[in-house]
Structure 1
């Protein structure tokens, strides 16, 4: 999750409240991303992971401008019985995900990850015709829906984008079906009530954003994993590739040691610290405590184990709120 300055974090929280009120008294959910980084979410951990993954692949500004090829779900020949007959990302009451075209052997499978199927409209909202449906003139019938695991609800997915900031708003489909809510009215409400806040937040985050190396910390190559919130943070990939082969092999061995200790603990939480000195004199360290894991490589061959332990402590205090300090 993106680390924000205090004033920007307050602005984001205010925006979340505005988004929640755009559908009146109905319970909505939202997610905010800056580029491909999570800024805010009101979803459960599992639903956050699912929607965030999809958003990064197809909804962010970077994804919309990407020319990379996507996974293909278009099959030739007889349809497989193992393919689900309906997608979790499909309009309510829409076509089955697998059907025959004109009696030939070409079968169409819904492809929510298909490239070039999402575009940005003039009003800032993202639009799609992933399913190739005839909407009959209804603007609501082609709005994607998703299924939330936590609440067991089907929700409409609205995506709004301003430069590098992407907002996802989820609304219960039954409210639309029952006539309690209009998607076009919600869109208008977002534009009227939230657009200025969105513009300001995007400017503030962009001003303080350090680019792809924003999470680089000089002298450290690290990976932090929070198993409770299912959030991870690491050195930029470009910095990780500067590690020597011996360091990477030592890190791999370190992960194996941690996994082995976890297996022996049989699911019970166990605090641990493991240090290995690689053949090139690099120290690699793992600390596991209270559901959080830290893996680190320090490529100063002259450092002693005490120096290394102190360096990890400084990192924990400054960047992890002291989460990895060991007694």
Structure 2
């Protein structure tokens, strides 16, 4: 028996962030809402969505205290839950309509929530810290509103949000994509990284080197590398700078030419952060004008004449109008870092320097000068070498295969080029989406077992159009494959997977 959604609103997508430690007193329920999309939905409707979500979380915790509610499939909605921080919940409610494109993986939707939270923490710190800093909630609401609305602008087509659907099943959000280079090029890159990091003197720095939209080298922890890579692809790479939108954004929207800016999304939703302050149910906040840094705004980065990427997102020095250097927070060390990005053609070098180790903007200017004097020539040579060996956007295409490789331990993935994936039939992609849902369920059950050991898994399914859909999981690594031109027998399809495993995966997925 399906659970009916209580909300009659026509919005196909709702997204909210709420704090279970707030608003527990009768008459103060509104206080728990930290963010809600669409923001112009009546407060009673917002409270209804959050009240249902809170009830489901409380109920499921009775049976599973360590792993409460993850998803509820209602009659006309899917409710996706993500506990971003202790007692800080993000919930996405998506409508099940008759649109043939509205077929999605729940785990893919949850990864959207994980991504926006991880990026928010990288720039602003934890939600809980901001809540505690200003208990009335005005500070965190303002930051979340602008940040999430800017984030959602990448998913917008007209007045609608297009979330990851079955057509993106051969992608894995929350991972980095690496560029494979030869030994000689790798030595050149490592030499460049050493020179770059030495430009900050004895200070311990971190770096991320990218060519086009692929990572070449990183000295960051896997989680920090994923976060910085995600932001770089969204706003910093040559493609992101030249188009004004991210390459991921373009792939999310297919071939559409309708790219809605963050400002348009804000206008459509109504700039109504103040609704919480003006409501009779909310506490009086007095002055609630908070300075907000909006790192996900479009078209706010540009390349300077010296090759460094510049932005005024973080403000500017009032005396000389020099833009303030960007800063981020590292997950591993919990340090606040200056972000310096230098770009030459397809090469992007990002250097992170502890804020505590340099003398503000003057110190950053000195580091930039050192980079220009000591590292720029090496950057030119490395970019030239990588360009000569670059096979283009189809560099990792394997004829006859449409695949996705995931190394969960290192947060790395590799997949067939998007242009090649579009050659698959809709029927194959929908069936493959369902296969991945099955794998997600198996992984979730294994996690709940608390056995501490990863289970190997192999699934092979024959779609109605005779395509073979294959999933193999072993030792933290995952291989997914769609074979539309395979022979009718399972033996033929298995042999094709074995050949792929031996040639491209060092035999990791071979059954022998």
Q: Same fold (TM over 0.5)?
A: yes
Does the 8 A contact of 1:99 with 1:108 survive in 2?
no
Does the 8 A contact of 2:337 with 2:353 survive in 1?
yes
Secondary structure of the structure 2 residue equivalent to 1:199: helix
Answer yes or no: is 1:67 the counterpart of 2:244. Answer: yes
> Of the candidates 290, 297, 315, which is equivalent to residue 114 of structure 1?
297
1:243 corresponds in structure 2 to 424
> What is the count of residue pairs matched by the alignment?
304
Q: Which runs of 5+ in 1 are unaligned?
A: 83-97, 101-106
For 1:184-223, list aligned pairs within 5 A. Answer: 184-223=365-404
Quick one: distance in 2 between partners of 1:121 and 1:143?
A: 13
Answer yes or no: is 1:76 the counterpart of 2:261. Answer: no
Q: Deviations over 1:6-30 (max 9, x none)?
A: 2111111111111121111110000
Quick one: distance in 2 between partners of 1:46 and 1:311?
A: 33
Quick one: distance in 1 between partners of 2:329 and 2:338?
A: 9
Quick one: distance in 2 between partners of 1:294 and 1:325?
A: 11
Q: Shift in Å at residue 271 of structure 1?
A: 0.6
For 1:124-143, list aligned pairs within 5 A. Answer: 124-137=307-320, 142-143=324-325
Quick one: distance in 2 between partners of 1:138 and 1:316?
A: 56
Q: Shift in Å at residue 49 of structure 1?
A: 1.3
> Of the candidates 202, 205, 216, which is equivalent to residue 39 of structure 1?
216
> Of the candidates 325, 337, 342, which is equivalent to residue 155 of structure 1?
337
> Of the candidates 271, 290, 294, which is equivalent to residue 456 of structure 2?
271
> Of the candidates 357, 365, 369, which is equivalent to residue 175 of structure 1?
357
Secondary structure of the structure 2 residue equivalent to 1:212: coil
Does the 8 A contact of 2:339 with 2:351 survive in 1?
yes
Using the size of structure 1 for normalisation, the TM-score is 0.85
CA gap 1:232/1:122 in 2 versus in 1, 3 angstroms: same
Using the size of structure 2 for normalisation, the TM-score is 0.56
Structure 1 vs Structure 2 CA RMSD: 2.4
Secondary structure of the structure 1 residue equivalent to 2:195: helix
Quick one: distance in 1 between partners of 2:446 and 2:358?
A: 49
Does the 8 A contact of 2:329 with 2:337 survive in 1?
yes
Q: Deviations over 1:113-168 (max 9, x none)?
A: 112221111111111111443442385x7011111010010011101000011110
CA gap 1:148/1:279 in 2 versus in 1, 3 angstroms: same
1:319 corresponds in structure 2 to 504
